[in-house]
Amino acid sequence: MDSVLALHRFHFAFTITFHYIFAQLSMGLALLIFVLKTLALRTGRDHYNHAARFWIKIFAVSFAIGVVTGIPMEFQFGTNWAPFSKAAGGVIGQTLAMEGVFSFFLESTFLGLLLFGENRLGPRAHWATSLLMFFGTWLSGFFIVATDAWMQHPVGYTLQANGQAALQSLWSLLLNPWLGWMYAHNMLGTVLTGSITMASVGAFYLLMRKFEDYGRTFVRVGVIAGAIAAILMLFPTGDQQGANIARHQPATLAAMEGLFETQQGAPLAILGQPDTEKRRLDNPAVVPRMLSFLTYKRWSAEVKGLDAFPKESVPDNVPLLFYSYHIMVGLGTIFIAVLLVSAWLLRAGRLYTTRSWLWVLMLSLPFPFIANTAGWITAELGRQPWLIYGVMRTSEGPSFNVSAGNTLFTLIGFMGMYTLLAILFLFITHREIDHGPEVVRTPNGVPGAESRLL
């Protein structure tokens, strides 16, 4: 692969992957904070307000990193993908600009109030602030998924003589048939991240035998929300997203599933290693006929393999696509199992005391992040070799006026900077978790004053 192209791709992939770690946590927690504030309002128990305040603090740190790593994403469309921006800006510029105008202003205004306005606003207005924050972050997610959905399945535009896409219908762009299921699936993924994070911190408190009251609340809320999200991710959202891919991107489906040959009654590969040299799946573990059934609801249906498509229109990295997709699905299945067992233990009243299972919950923390990342890699690698599916190839998109050396330089710069950000994030959240939910710090002898700025 051309090195300018490869570097621009990795530049964007690295920065967006890092950004999305924090974006998914913020969006997931925004919903759960709203849930905690609702519980506080309905039960009148201050316990839930303390719990909400604790997560608002974690949310704020995650949100701050999300903001500072989000600005480079918008810039990179222009800096690293200039020909693409020129071609597509008339369409996807709309959704990106709408995100700024409709979501970011809302979020930045209400974050301050959410963090520090509790006393001044009173319980109802503070609850409403948490609702607005939830709405703002999820609206932001909508505009970004709408942007990606257009690249996956371009609608509502015309191609002008100068090669630029011109928007023809804003409604088609916002009601893209690709968008609904992808958005639902993606947002459930963020809920899963938030829920498992919350349950994991709760399990940590119970295992440490400190802040156990809060530990129980975190585990309970996390397990219930997580179990609902995990099931809905599989069905209907994941299933329907798969149906969209089968209908509109059949070559992608073949690559995701590692299906090299077209066949009737195609098997579903659970494990395996795509061997692109020999064009087969090495060491496969398959369920016969399952892929045909899942895709077309008929056991003997024909599923097109990679051999059915010209080489220049199949994804360029089949192994990574195959692994990402299988990691996502595999982890999703494990989440359902773990969370259903947890929910059953919760119902039986044994979850808080079953220490071995609390260990499982605590250690599950990194996996939803991995699953969400793998899901996005599946979506974006699956779109290859297209930048805009069927319209513009990825090889036509990067800024050729920015040389490979410059791109590598800034990529390394981002890697260094983001490593520092990650360390800071872990350090600060670790301290917050260590201090626990009830602490009111009075730094520098300023009585009752919250020390943080945001």
Considering only residues 171 to 230 of the shown chain, the ones binding other proteins according to CB under 8 A are none
The number of angstroms, rounded, from the C-alpha of 419 to the middle of its chain's C-alpha atoms is 20
Per CB under 8 A, the list member of 97, 271, 337, 363 interacting with other proteins is 97
Under the binding rule (CB under 8 A), the answer on residue 101 touching other proteins is yes
Residue closer to other proteins by CB (options 275, 450) is 450
The label of the residue with tokens 């996956």 reads 152
Instruction: Answer yes or no whether residue 300 interacts with other proteins by CB under 8 A.
Output: no
Q: Give the other-Cβ count within 10 Å of 8's Cβ.
A: 26
Q: Among residue numbers 330 through 349, which ones bind other proteins (CB under 8 A)? A: none
Which tokens hold the place of 66?
């999300």
Q: Which is nearer to other proteins, 166 or 271 (CB)?
A: 166
In the complex, least distance from residue 28 CB atom to other proteins, rounded to whole angstroms: 20
Phi, psi of 439 (to 5 degrees): -70, 135
Q: Which amino acid is at 435?
A: H
DSSP 3-state of 275: strand
The phi, psi pair for 378, rounded to 5°, reads: -60, -45
Query: Interaction with other proteins in 416-435: which residues (CB under 8 A)?
Result: 417, 421, 424, 427-428, 431
According to CB under 8 A, which one of 41, 68, 232, 422 is a site residue for other proteins? 68
- Minimum CB distance to other proteins smaller for 341 or for 417: 417
Cβ–Cβ < 8 Å for 376, 20: yes
Q: Pick the binder of other proteins from 13, 47, 102, 263 (CB under 8 A).
A: 102
Three-state SS at 382: helix
Under rule CB under 8 A, residue 35 binds other proteins: no
Specify the residue, 69 or 193, whose C-beta has the smaller distance to other proteins. Answer: 69
Contacts with other proteins, 382-421, as mask; x by CB under 8 A = -----------------xxxxx--x---x--x---x---x
Residue 161 interacts with other proteins (CB under 8 A)?
A: no
Shortest Å, Cβ 168 to other proteins: 6
Question: Is the Cβ of residue 390 or residue 405 nearer to other proteins in the bound state?
Answer: 405
DSSP string, 176-204: -TTHHHHHHHHHHHHHHHHHHHHHHHHHH
Residue 68: which of 133, 14, 15 has the closest Cα?
15
For residue 160, state whether it binds other proteins (rule: CB under 8 A). yes
| Interface segment toward other proteins; rule CB under 8 A; list 79-87, 272-280, 317-325, 387-395 | 79-87
- Near other proteins by CB under 8 A: residue from 91, 327, 377, 379: 91
Measured CA angle at 87 (ends 86, 92), to 5 deg: 90
Complex with other proteins: residue 143 or 352, whichever CB lies closer: 143
Which whole-number Å values give the CA distances from 242 to 231, 247, 248, 348, in the listed order?
15, 9, 10, 36
Largest CA distance in the chain: 74
Q: Is the Cβ of residue 80 or residue 252 nearer to other proteins in the bound state?
A: 80
> Is residue 78 near other proteins by the rule CB under 8 A?
yes
Smaller CB separation from other proteins, 58 or 255: 58
Is residue 242 within 8 A of residue 379, CB to CB? The reply is: no
Among 17, 164, 262, 273, indicate the residue that binds other proteins (CB under 8 A): 164
Question: Buried b vs exposed e over 324-335: b needs ≥16 C-beta within 10 Å?
Answer: bbbbbbebbeeb
Confirm or reject binding of residue 106 to other proteins (CB under 8 A): yes
Distance CA 448, CA 381 (A): 51
